[in-house]
Structure 1
């Protein structure tokens, strides 16, 4: 009975929303460092309900530990996803998060926080390796872009909740409350369907047909399963290793683009600014309450993600990324100039509203494009036999560059000044504009099979192919 009511778009949307609820629980943990690190730096054992006080160096490790674990945890996720399927792995995505909150609740020294952040990194690998793949495989091309955009929207919603409540609540109280979304996700997601790709890979064709009919509903077309089966089995016959990745056109392009997207997401400063938001506000001598400014920035961040959902399948992926990085370059340059003037003795307290505005507009645009697009492209560009390897490789780049930017942020601030961080983020943002303009293809409203056919075109140079695709899309 319920299957008839939910078949088609309803089950695709419901499954995507529940996966995104898991992402929200991760967002709470990921951006907890922004309000928590300043608290722990200034903690004298009496101001909060945790007895732990940390140094600035320990604070940078807490902010970075999650990211440096991604290379190892991502490779582990490949094994798990290949053997048990993306849905089965996603079911247990919140487990490391729940354990991390328990450790934070009972923390007696800084090592509790280090281990908790490592567990957050494991959960990040599970969700970001398997979440985009699962949603990409169950969603119809007409809504796939919007469904994939739910991931950053819910992630930023979790971040918004963390920005405010982790600041106004005690560390232990917030840790206890943050367990709830992960447990709720686990209960709800168990009943969601597997991807038809999972059943085809395991040669369970009746289950694949049943699931595909359920997911497509009245839009199911006879012969669709056969086409999907042929495409998947052809791809699965091609075993993936470094040699095949380097020798195959579509593999090189998809790996390169997603790795580049994940890397520039970090190099433009998105994670560093989000992780040290409260610290940046405190250092700028803004006269308004830190939690008020952080709350507004968090709300604008969610608005950026929501706005992009209305444009991604109307204008395409390329325009959103190019606009996003261009705005990031300009705004990071303005922020660098602000701190340069401050370091040279200029009194900017009368213009503190300007810094808050720059941070808000910056968060809007990076979430409007480059951050959200990482998840969309990871769910679209990889073929069936490379999805798990591809997203894991991309997360390694995300983790390495994220660790570098987070770890050196406080060091650069102490050694050279806050402004040098933002000059660097501005430079890499403009470099990203150039590279994405040249190499990024358009995938709007294309099936996953059509995208692979596009990437496999070898006779035309990629930039020309991309321009043709964009022109075709604009004509439509």
Structure 2
């Protein structure tokens, strides 16, 4: 795959390259009123807040259920691994559904539809009388999360303009982090049933707000609803702005494409190259180990005998993740996507190596083929006050910081930016499907690998993947900073780079 979107001096094809065109674009962006755009984005990304909350729900709940006095709810290690991993199966099913619903219902209605399984799932977990209710509820919240993970980045990207698309493209990850942090904080004091009840609130608020938000103008144009698309764009940009010019650009781009993607078109580099990049990014992102680390965070801290209580460490890591993703949001449109991906992968590489070495060199490492109790202090440090016991916390903070600065938010943003319009709905669902199937395999096998080979082995594997990510970023990932979706599509369609000048 050729190295994409690098600066070229070749003048043989000029797309959006004239200085006057760029000046007009920048002048137009400066006149836009973004308040309604921000409101629509906030309404949508509440779904990501619920997703982040549901993803780490198991972190404080698994230890509580393993000690439950109710035999019908008490979990053993195998049941805990299913409770932790079945969410990702639901998310994969949600991504598969998004391949159809994204283009059938549209981006906004698909996000609203996700509220139904989410509300039911939280209700089942809140009132659970048996393990099956917990697993079903977890699966349904995972399904909702997978559906929103595919639809929300596309919706936000399509309603945004180049001036703020990088920052707004990070908001799904920001809200997911907020959701996780709230769960960690509430988990310190709130019983596990009430944690499920609290998860209902952002879902209901999202449903109410989205009723008043417009659909994506690009989606409406692809459905032949020109007047409705023009009205949506006018609402988002402000009626006293020159939104007709942007509308014409979007309309021209939509008219160049047929309404549906055919199998024959998948052989076109314009279609398969951006899809391959997006899918591989989602695959590699999960292989860094972020999902099993988040799902089993408190259990990992228990196992490595950290200095502070595991619950407090988890909350600290959640706060670090939030600060890091905020940094990414403010720098993404300034530094660019690729440099943040390089920094992100490097930080995760170091963190995973440190965690692996710490576990391996610890005074009492887990013996191979012996059961490692990930919820109850398998590794006791000899000195309870030793500063060495801060290493797992600091290394995990470094990992989460690296992930949240690059490979967390940017993979979702690039997915929504580089996919061609006609394939955006289907391909985004495919990305989520691949992502969460990978997450399921990792999450389900994590405890098995730890019990068989020791806790250090997964961390060494994750470190090797981070090295692969560095190479992949340099060779394959495009730089899309300050480019409209139409310009990015033009690059993949023609293979020329002159529009970047």
2:58 to 33, 50, 54: 33
- Measured in 2, the distance between the counterparts of 1:17 and 1:51 equals 40
Q: Aligned-pair distance for 1:241?
A: 3.9
Select the structure that is richer in helix. 1
- Measured in 2, the distance between the counterparts of 1:343 and 1:250 equals 55
Higher relative contact order structure (alpha carbons within 8 Å, sequence separation ≥ 6):
2
Q: Aligned-pair distance for 1:41?
A: 2.0
Say what the alpha-carbon RMSD is for the aligned residues: 1.9
| 2:233/2:243 contact within 8 Å kept | no
| 1:33/1:63 contact within 8 Å kept | yes
| 2:480/2:488 contact within 8 Å kept | yes
Q: Aligned-pair distance for 1:361?
A: 1.5
2:104 to 63, 66, 83: 83
Equivalent positions of 1:337-416 (< 5 A) are 337-342=357-362, 344=364, 347=382, 349=384, 350=386, 351-416=388-453
2:204 is the counterpart of 1:179: no
| 2:99/2:426 contact within 8 Å kept | yes
Structure 2 unaligned blocks of 5 or more? 1-31, 366-380
- Measured in 1, the distance between the counterparts of 2:402 and 2:241 equals 35
157-166 vs 298-307, which moves further: 157-166
Q: Aligned-pair distance for 1:164?
A: 2.6
Q: Aligned-pair distance for 1:281?
A: 0.4
2:273 is the counterpart of 1:248: no
| 2:122/2:196 contact within 8 Å kept | yes
2:307 is the counterpart of 1:287: yes
Q: Aligned-pair distance for 1:364?
A: 0.9
- Measured in 1, the distance between the counterparts of 2:145 and 2:361 equals 38
- Measured in 2, the distance between the counterparts of 1:456 and 1:449 equals 10
How has the CA–CA distance of structure 1 residues 243 and 37 changed in structure 2, closer, same or farther, with 3 Å as cutoff? farther
Q: Aligned-pair distance for 1:412?
A: 1.0
Equivalent positions of 1:105-184 (< 5 A) are 105-184=126-205
**Number of aligned positions between the proteins:** 452
Who is 1:450 aligned against? 487
Q: Aligned-pair distance for 1:126?
A: 1.9
- Measured in 2, the distance between the counterparts of 1:391 and 1:343 equals 46
TM-score normalised by length of structure 1: 0.91
- Measured in 2, the distance between the counterparts of 1:343 and 1:172 equals 38
Provide Cα deviations, 1:390-423, integer angstroms capped at 9, x if missing partner: 1111111101210111111111111111000100
Who is 1:19 aligned against? 44
| 2:349/2:462 contact within 8 Å kept | yes
- Measured in 1, the distance between the counterparts of 2:234 and 2:306 equals 56
Structure 1 unaligned blocks of 5 or more? 1-6
2:450 is the counterpart of 1:441: no
